[in-house]
């Protein structure tokens, strides 16, 4: 299952303690930034702030509709139908 | 299209249920990635919905046990690049985050505004922006990011390094696009770069 997701959640939980030198300090290898950019934590904050947002109802509606769609068709016919109903619901 | 969902796919109901659960679980991450890519929340959410539908349609190609987040990010990325080529995104910026302010780092005279950071991020060429988002915000390793973008690890490292350098420069000098007119200029540059990307590298068909 989503090992990547679990990995991220761990990373985000630790982000405040790991703002310096923690996580991805690849800049060091490239020699570009001489120190961890002070905005690095902000990038995670931007990302995490969206992750932590409550999911809009439009997503719940779409996820509910997925079961009724035939995945094997590989067509977007069902997709268009779902989009239409989503648009009108807003 | 078939109206009978029972004929679809080769997966068992249990596998479908697992897929649905994992897909549902990554939606917040897809929204965050999309928001970082295209800035406007409504446009980003449209992109995520498109991604969910494509992922659902392609679920037979998902290998159970692998990362759903990485798999769906590939789909989202491809949808984004396709939509961008259709000029769907206008590089507009969400002022909703403008009030959020980072605490001032030690030795820093002025706090960094998340809004500045976001605008600076959006002004980067698309390939550098996505590389930085994946590694610096999404917590992917260079190897995972390279797999998502369908390029070499060294390429990702180089893009992240350049993106970091550019952001540092912009934030240090206050050289950040302020209005959507500036963003439009940046956006044109992005589109031009995208042509190069598409011509050479192509969009990964791994999804």
pLDDT at B196: 60
Question: Is the domain of A37 the same as that of A64?
Answer: no
Question: Is the domain of A7 the same as that of A44?
Answer: yes
Between residues B130 and A32, which one has the greater pLDDT?
A: B130
Question: Is the domain of A62 the same as that of A27?
Answer: no
pLDDT band at residue A62 under the 50/70/90 scheme: very high
| Least confident range of A8-22, A67-81, B147-161 | A8-22
Question: Is the domain of A24 the same as that of A42?
Answer: yes
| Average pLDDT value for residue range B131-136 | 96
Question: Domain containing A23: what range?
Answer: 3-51
Of B11, B33, B164, Cβ closest to residue A37:
B164
CB pairs under 8 A between A and B: 198
Q: Which residues of A touch B144 (CB under 8 A)?
A: 4
Domains of chain B: 13-85 (1.10.1740.10), 99-200 (1.10.10.10)
Q: What is the pTM assigned to this prediction?
A: 0.67
Tell me what the pLDDT averaged over chain B comes to.
79
Question: Is the domain of A63 the same as that of A32?
Answer: no
pLDDT at B89: 54
Of A32, A51, A86, Cβ closest to residue B29:
A51
Question: Is the domain of A61 the same as that of A46?
Answer: no
Question: Is the domain of A23 the same as that of A41?
Answer: yes
pLDDT at B2: 43
| Average pLDDT value for residue range B116-126 | 88
Q: How many domains does chain A have?
A: 2
Chain A nearest-CA residue for B103: A42
Contact B140, B147 (CB under 8 A): no
Helix axis angle for A40-51 and B13-38, nearest 10°, is 130
pLDDT at B25: 96
The answer to whether A7 contacts chain B (CB < 8 Å) is yes
Question: Is the domain of A36 the same as that of A63?
Answer: no
Span B73-112, pLDDT tens digits: 999 999 998 887 776 555 444 444 433 444 444 444 556 7
Q: Counting beta carbons within 10 angstroms of the beta carbon of residue A48, is it exposed (0 to 12), middle (13 to 18) or buried (19 or more)?
A: buried
Question: Is the domain of A47 the same as that of A71?
Answer: no
Question: Is the domain of A85 the same as that of A64?
Answer: yes
Question: Is the domain of A8 the same as that of A26?
Answer: yes
Question: Is the domain of A40 the same as that of A72?
Answer: no
With pLDDT > 90 as the criterion, what percentage of chain B qualifies?
A: 47
Quickly count: other Cβ atoms within 10 Å of residue A9's Cβ: 15
Of B52, B68, B157, Cβ closest to residue A29:
B157
CA distance B5 to chain A (A): 5
CA distance B1 to chain A (A): 6
């Amino acid at each position: 299952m989503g090992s990547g997701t679990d990995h991220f959640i761990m990373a985000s939980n630790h982000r405040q303690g790991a703002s310096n030198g923690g996580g991805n300090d690849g800049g060091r290898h490239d020699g570009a930034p001489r120190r961890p950019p002070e905005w690095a934590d902000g990038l995670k904050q931007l990302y995490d702030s969206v992750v932590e947002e409550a999911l809009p109802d439009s997503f719940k509606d779409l996820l509910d509709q997925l079961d009724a769609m035939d995945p094997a068709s590989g067509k977007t016919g069902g997709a268009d139908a779902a989009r239409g109903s989503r648009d009108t619901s807003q | 299209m078939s109206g009978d969902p029972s004929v679809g796919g080769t997966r068992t109901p249990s596998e479908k249920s697992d897929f649905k659960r994992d897909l549902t679980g990554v939606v917040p991450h897809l929204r965050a990635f999309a928001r970082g890519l295209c800035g406007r929340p409504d446009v980003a959410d449209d992109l995520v919905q498109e991604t969910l539908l494509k992922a659902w349609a392609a679920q037979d190609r998902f290998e159970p046990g692998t990362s759903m987040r990485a798999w769906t990010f590939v789909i989202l990325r491809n949808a984004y690049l396709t939509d961008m080529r259709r000029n769907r995104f206008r590089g507009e910026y969400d002022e909703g985050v403008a009030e959020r302010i980072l605490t001032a780092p030690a030795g820093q005279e002025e706090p960094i505004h998340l809004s500045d950071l976001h605008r600076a991020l959006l002004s980067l060429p698309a390939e550098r922006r996505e590389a930085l988002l994946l590694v610096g915000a999404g917590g992917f390793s260079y190897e995972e990011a390279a797999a998502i973008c369908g390029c070499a690890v060294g390429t990702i490292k180089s893009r992240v390094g350049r993106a970091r350098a550019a952001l540092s420069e912009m934030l240090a000098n206050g050289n950040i696009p302020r209005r959507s007119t500036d963003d439009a200029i940046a956006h044109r540059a992005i589109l031009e770069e995208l042509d190069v990307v598409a011509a050479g590298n192509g969009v990964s068909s791994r999804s």
